[in-house]
Amino acid sequence: MLDRNAKIFLAGHKGLVGSAIYRRLVKEGFTHIITRESRELDLTNQAETFAFFEREKPDYVILAAAKVGGIMANQTYPADFIYINLMIACNVIHASYKTGVKKLLNLGSSCIYPRMAPQPMREECLLTSELEPTNEAYALAKIAAIKLCRYYNQQYGTNFISVMPTNQYGIGDNFNMETAHLLPMIMRRFHLAKLLSENDFDAIKADLKRYKLGWNLDEQIDWNSNYSIEKALNSVGAYRDKVVLWGDGSVYRELMCSDDLADACFYLMDNKDYKDIGEHVNITKGDDILLKDLFEMVKRIVGFNGDISYDKTKPNGTPRKMMDASRIRALGWEPKISLEQGITDFYRWYCQ
């Protein structure tokens, strides 16, 4: 069990995943959580990182700092994705070893698995065939981080754990329609369509001030013209009477609330060592949902009364991408937040 008074360094505490872990650590009564924003401590900088570890000497480390992004960002900036993520992993893992960190948790992602991995994806399928080319650079950096932990454990007797979570949503998520992940994007689309159907332009303006639409649309809006605002919302698929969604809704996706991920990370840190876990473990509920059903659920939770229309000229993406939950369940962890409950809480938080 972790000592609640020990020093714990949470790298990436402002991110979607890191902020959920931060809330959990506070709830568990940790009194000495060390955090730094990237402008205070750039973890790609070896000298800065080593000096920080020498000075602070944390007992435990959670590595949730990374450069993350969608397909477009990954394809446009592959050099940044591999360089930044490799440097962060090398610096934090080596500094942790050098300064005697007792336990480290390294966060990876499901993109480490081969693009044609059998479903559901088991931990053993790592490096069995080629990766998805669109995010290969990111995946290679994440695989290197897993191997760093493994080999430091093997050679130096460290206790570094690697976890591979499924797709996350939750408090602090990104709602920019150009770069957001699936759930925040569709939830905001239904929300804006609902406000349009209610003619509530005050609420629409407040929403647009809080989060950008992306695609340079914000810069083109004439804020004195409701027509201009409505046109911008139509461009991102939100209409008075319908919401337009990409593909045909026939593929399956898995989604997990970041508070559930924080629960799993905390459970593993508190109760398990790398010897129990092996090279890495999936953090997944082990179930997914047909997108058509997900869209209906979000529509109902948001309270939009219009239709759902599918733009079938747009791609569906991979038919199914789900991780196997056998290992995490065998380790004694169970998910706590159902999708319905998670989305309901997520929408309530968004509206506040």
Ligand X SMILES: NC(=O)c1ccc[n+]([C@@H]2O[C@H](COP(=O)([O-])OP(=O)(O)OC[C@H]3O[C@@H](n4cnc5c(N)ncnc54)[C@H](OP(=O)(O)O)[C@@H]3O)[C@@H](O)[C@H]2O)c1
Site for ligand X, rule CB under 6 A: 12, 14-18, 37-38, 41-44, 64-68, 84, 88, 107, 109, 165, 167-168, 181
Which of 9/239 has CB closer to ligand X?
Answer: 9
Cα gap 92→106, rounded to integer Å: 10
> How many CA atoms are closer than 13 Å to the CA of 185, on its beta-carbon side?
15
Please report how the helices 182-197 and 201-210 are oriented relative to each other, as an axis angle in degrees rounded to 10: 150
Give the nearer residue to ligand X in terms of CB position, either 14 or 329: 14
Is residue 347 part of the annotated active site? The answer reads: no
Peptide bond into 319 cis (omega under 30): no
d(CA 258, CA 193): 26
For residues 175 and 211, what is the distance between their CA atoms, to the nearest angstrom?
6
Closest CA to 93 of 143, 146, 133: 146
Work out the end-to-end distance of the chain between its first and last CA atoms, rounded to an integer number of angstroms.
36
Question: Are the C-beta atoms of residues 60 and 7 closer than 8 Å to each other?
Answer: yes
Q: Which is nearer to ligand X, 145 or 193 (CB)?
A: 145
What three-state secondary structure class fits 155? helix
Nearest-CB residue to ligand X? Answer: 15
Tell me which residue of 154, 176, 95 sits closest to 278, measured CA to CA: 154
- Catalytic residue, chosen from 22, 138, 152, 347, is 138
Q: φ, ψ for residue 317 (rounded to 5)?
A: 85, -175
The set of catalytic residues is 138
